[in-house]
Structure 1
Amino acid sequence: MLIGQGFDAHRFVEGRRLVLGGIEIPYERGMLAHSDGDVLIHALCDALLGAAGLGDIGRHFPDTDPAYAGIDSRVLLQRVIVDLHGQRLRVHNADLTLIAQAPRLAPHIPAMRETLATDLQCPPARVNVKATTFERMGFTGRGEGIAASAVVLLTEIGD
């Protein structure tokens, strides 16, 4: 078994859509990022790559590469899963946390969980998504952005 953890954060900007966990969330602002800015998937990719000893998301999908400009982060996640399968690894479970003062994310968590389970190729019961606030402290508490953390457990294929 291999354990990995990941973290990501992005600031809000006007004129972009908000995508979290592969789901578009109705909100007046989105994330400033080279890709679609899905902080939850970015943290998840870092956790998966870290568990496998494969570096981080920036190494695999650099923000200096125009090929990744505006890319759907689900595409990146699916590529990471292919890399893991190449190492004979699969996702056993994932525990993910979104940190945001706004928007309210609870209504969107079931759809995020289903979408991520599909991309991770594991049962939805093995993907946990939570949302919390920092009680109006720090950049997330002031509504300046969103952060996410991820912890994953990988097992060898065949176990």
Structure 2
Amino acid sequence: AFRFQDILAAHDKARGNEMTDDSMIAENAGLAVALVTGSEDNIKITTPEDMNRVAQLLGGRPAISRVGFGFDVHEFCAGDHVMLCGVRIAHEKALEGHSDADAGLHALTDALLGAIGDGDIGAHFPPGDPQWRDGDSADFLKHAGKLIADRNGAIANVDVTLICESPKIGPHRDAMRQRIAEILSIDVSAVSVKATTTEGLGFTGRREGIAAQAVASVMLPPN
């Protein structure tokens, strides 16, 4: 507890600084702050993750952890770029598909849908439906994220592996992570994008197309 005039003046002094609670603001203004031992269950709510913890405490049961897996393949066709994990990459070929053929986002969308047991990308966005022709795969991924939010769930982390000889993924990795984090409204630290080859074997080794696989971890409230 603080005297109103003292803490008000402290707030005025701290204006423009990034501080998360009154104790930091008071110390910044030179006010004495005493620490009182309390219950760990009486937590301070500062971030959205704190709210999730409160919900678990009030519910009396831990959240349920679910894991989903997704896999997708697209073959090369004539073109001058590919879309991978929401990033446009210049390339001597394009990827064939009903939408923008983003194998990375398609695999990740399926992983999220799998984690909540809600079908696959083809069930939500049928390839025979003309409205999805040349569609932005970011919309598919955003839809999967919304379905999780509608269940009061949260995405813990996602991990995408792109399998191809070309294009090189390394120069675009950070942009891909940022784009996925933006689409799903999660922290970039919860997003991993990796790349590998099949050492010249199979259709990816023959540079006939690109494959992608993804794993997603989702936290859901107890039933």
Residue 83 of structure 1 pairs with residue 186 of structure 2: no
CA shift for structure 1 position 17: 3.1
Q: 1:4 aligns with which of 56, 68, 83?
A: 68
Q: Which amino acid is the alignment partner of residue 89 of structure 1?
A: G
Alignment partner of 2:200: what SS? Answer: coil
Letter in 1 for 2:125: F
Report the alpha carbon displacement of residue 118 of structure 1 after superposing the two structures with TM.
Answer: 1.1
Please say if residues 156 and 217 of structure 2, whose CA atoms lie closer than 8 Å, have aligned partners that are also in contact: yes
Which whole-Å CA distance do the structure 1 matches of 2:192 and 2:185 have between them?
14
Q: Where do residues 24-103 of structure 1 align in structure 2 (5 Å cutoff)?
A: 24-103=88-167
**Kept after mapping to 2: 8 A contact 1:91/1:121:** no
Instruction: Deviation per CA, 1:100-121: give whole Å up to 9, x if none.
Output: 0111111001000000011122
| One-letter identity of the residue aligned with 1:83 | L
CA RMSD of aligned residues (A): 1.0
Extract structure 1 runs of 4+ deviating beyond 6 A: none
Give yes or no for contact 1:16–1:31 (8 Å, CA) kept in 2.
no
User: SS at 1:33's partner residue?
Assistant: coil
Distance 1:20 1:76, change over 3 A: same
Kindly provide the CA deviation profile for residues 12-64 of structure 1, in whole angstroms up to 9, marking residues without a partner as x.
00036300000001101111000000000000000000000000000000100
Q: Which runs of 5+ in 2 are unaligned?
A: 1-64
Which residue, out of 175, 194, 197, partners 1:133? 197
Bigger Rg, which one:
2
Identity among equivalent positions (%) equals 44
Unmatched segments (≥5 aa) in structure 1: none
Residue-by-residue CA offset, 1:63-105 (whole Å, 9 max, x unaligned)? 0000100001001111111111112222110111000011111
Other structure's SS at 1:153 match: strand
What TM-score comes out, normalization by structure 1 length? Answer: 0.96
Flag the structure with more relative contact order, 1 or 2, with Cα contacts below 8 A and sequence separation at least 6.
Answer: 1
More strand by share: 1
- 2:80–2:91 contact (8 Å) kept in structure 1: no
CA distance in 2, matches of 1:17, 1:62: 24
